[in-house]
Structures are given as structure tokens and as C-alpha cells.
């Protein structure tokens, strides 16, 4: 099932997504399916006539995993970590499908990172690997925008990874997905830049969710970004970024200065 968050007639709604790419419709839901459950209503709207929003705004946190693809670690001149490397983005970094992201004035070197994102569905702590499916609500696409110059000079990643708009999410949440071998791609202005697969992750999705839950209590709506394959590069004003995750769909972002 695909679940979207959208605006129509100046109101925010949730809905299930039906149809083929380019011809989808949204069937309205009664409420927020992450927190109170929801039922489908006898009301629909074409995706083309609505505005898709980020499918989730975490009330708590976005936990990100660094260097989780060996080829990306190598291209950045880093070693592959022996255990998952974690960092945070604030929820104010979230932006939605098609949203323009204003690049900060204090960076001249912003890059893209296509990532599979995991959306947590229930409060949990110390989750065994085999029970991870019980706590996952679904999956969406993410772009881990990064100010590389600031990442190098600050010595920690809060500014470089957490600026406003630095975490585009969307276009919707897919609740049923085998994450073992999904294509993870990105393009800039229509030119393919990244072309990887989740099967090349150093740590797979169940391992990551279990590991993160050992450190932090996870709450409904929390998001875990699972790392990016090789092929990252710099972008600037006017560039159109696309992240395409197999089984989910395409997330687009437009950059502005």
C-alpha cells in the first residue's frame, strides 16, 4: 500500500495512492495512519490535481547512517565503518516532493545523496533483528543534501547535514516492500549520477533498525536514512535533483540560491 500526505482545497489530507505512474489517484483517509489509524473514504482526487507533501514530518528525529555503501566510502576517501555510523537531521530539514530548497549562503559545495528511508510505525526499543518488520510502518525515498565544505571544516555534521530543506522525503510511503535488492538512483537535470542497489549496503535494513533502537527509543514517524551509493557530486542554483527508489517512485527537488 502507498500512503501519501497532500494538500487539496487548502487542507492537508492523507490518502492511499492507486494507479500507474503518471496516472495515480488519491483516495482520502479519515486521519493520520501513523498515529491514530485511518479508514479509506469514498472520495478521490487525481495526484495531478493535488500537491504532494513530505509523507511524514518526524515528531522526534531523523537518524542517518553514514558510509553504508563501500563504494561511496571509498569515493570520499574513507574507510568502511565496522559498525553503523549514526548522525541526526532535525525535522526542520524535511522538505516535500517538488519543493524548492534554498541553499544556505554559508556553503559553496552542496551535494546530493539518494537514499532509502525507513519510517517507524510504533514506539520501540532494543528491537531484535528478526522483529524489525513489526516496528516498520513503511519506506520512502530521501535525498541527504550535504554541505561538503562545511562538513569538512566544522568537524561534526550538524550544520552540513541539518540545514533547512536538507532532507527531501517522498513522494509517498510504501508499506510493503522487500528492501534486500532495490535499485537506488539519482539524477541531476535528467543525467544519471548514482545507480546502486540496497544489496550493496554494508549493513542491511533490519540490522540498521535494530542497531539504532539500541541507542535511541524510536517513536512513530521517526525516519532512518540508510546511506547512499557512489556517484555523489556538487549541485547549485536551478539544478533539478531526482531520487528514484525501486518499488517506491521518484522524489524531485529544485535548488535555489
- Could you give all domains of the chain from N- to C-terminal order, each with its CATH number? 2-52 (2.30.30), 62-255 (3.90.850.10)
pLDDT of residue 67: 95
Contacts of residue 148, defined as CB under 8 A and 6 or more positions apart, other chains included, come to 107, 109, 110, 111, 160, 234
Which residue is associated with the grid cell 519543493? Answer: 99
Distance CA 163, CA 150 (A): 11
Low pLDDT (below 70) residues in the chain: none
pLDDT of residue 178: 98
For the chain, count helices (H), then strands (E).
4, 20
pLDDT of residue 36: 85
Helices (H), the chain: 70-75, 148-154, 158-162, 205-215
Count Cα neighbours of 91 within 13 Å in the Cβ-side half-sphere.
11
**Burial (0-12, 13-18, 19+ Cβ within 10 Å), 20:** exposed
Amino acid at each position: 500500500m502507498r500512503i501519501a500526505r497532500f494538500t487539496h482545497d487548502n487542507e492537508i489530507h492523507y490518502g492511499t495512492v492507486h494507479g500507474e505512474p503518471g496516472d495515480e489517484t488519491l483516495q482520502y483517509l479519515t486521519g493520520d495512519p501513523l498515529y491514530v489509524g485511518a479508514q479509506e473514504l469514498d472520495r478521490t482526487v487525481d495526484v495531478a490535481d493535488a500537491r504532494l507533501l513530505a509523507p511524514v514530518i518526524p515528531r522526534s528525529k531523523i537518524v542517518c547512517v553514514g558510509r553504508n555503501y563501500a563504494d561511496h566510502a571509498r569515493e570520499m576517501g574513507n574507510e568502511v565503518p565496522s559498525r553503523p555510523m549514526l548522525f541526526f537531521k532535525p525535522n526542520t530539514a524535511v522538505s516535500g516532493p517538488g519543493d524548492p530548497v534554498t541553499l544556505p549562503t554559508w556553503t559553496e559545495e552542496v551535494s546530493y545523496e539518494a537514499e532509502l528511508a525507513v519510517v517507524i510505525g510504533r514506539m520501540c526499543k532494543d528491537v531484535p533483528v528478526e522483529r524489525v518488520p513489526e516496528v516498520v510502518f513503511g519506506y520512502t525515498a530521501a535525498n541527504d543534501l550535504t554541505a561538503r565544505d562545511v562538513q569538512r571544516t566544522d568537524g561534526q555534521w550538524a550544520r552540513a547535514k541539518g540545514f533547512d530543506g536538507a532532507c527531501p522525503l517522498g513522494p509517498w510511503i510504501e508499506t510493503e516492500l522487500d528492501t534486500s535488492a532495490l535499485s537506488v538512483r539519482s539524477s541531476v537535470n535528467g543525467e544519471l549520477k548514482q545507480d546502486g542497489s540496497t544489496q550493496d549496503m554494508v549493513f542491511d535494513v533490519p540490522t540498521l533498525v535494530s542497531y539504532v533502537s539500541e541507542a535511541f527509543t524510536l517513536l512513530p514517524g521517526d525516519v532512518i536514512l540508510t546511506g547512499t551509493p557512489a556517484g555523489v557530486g556538487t549541485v547549485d542554483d536551478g539544478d533539478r535533483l531526482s531520487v528514484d527508489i525501486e518499488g517506491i517512485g521518484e522524489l524531485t527537488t529544485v535548488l535555489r540560491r
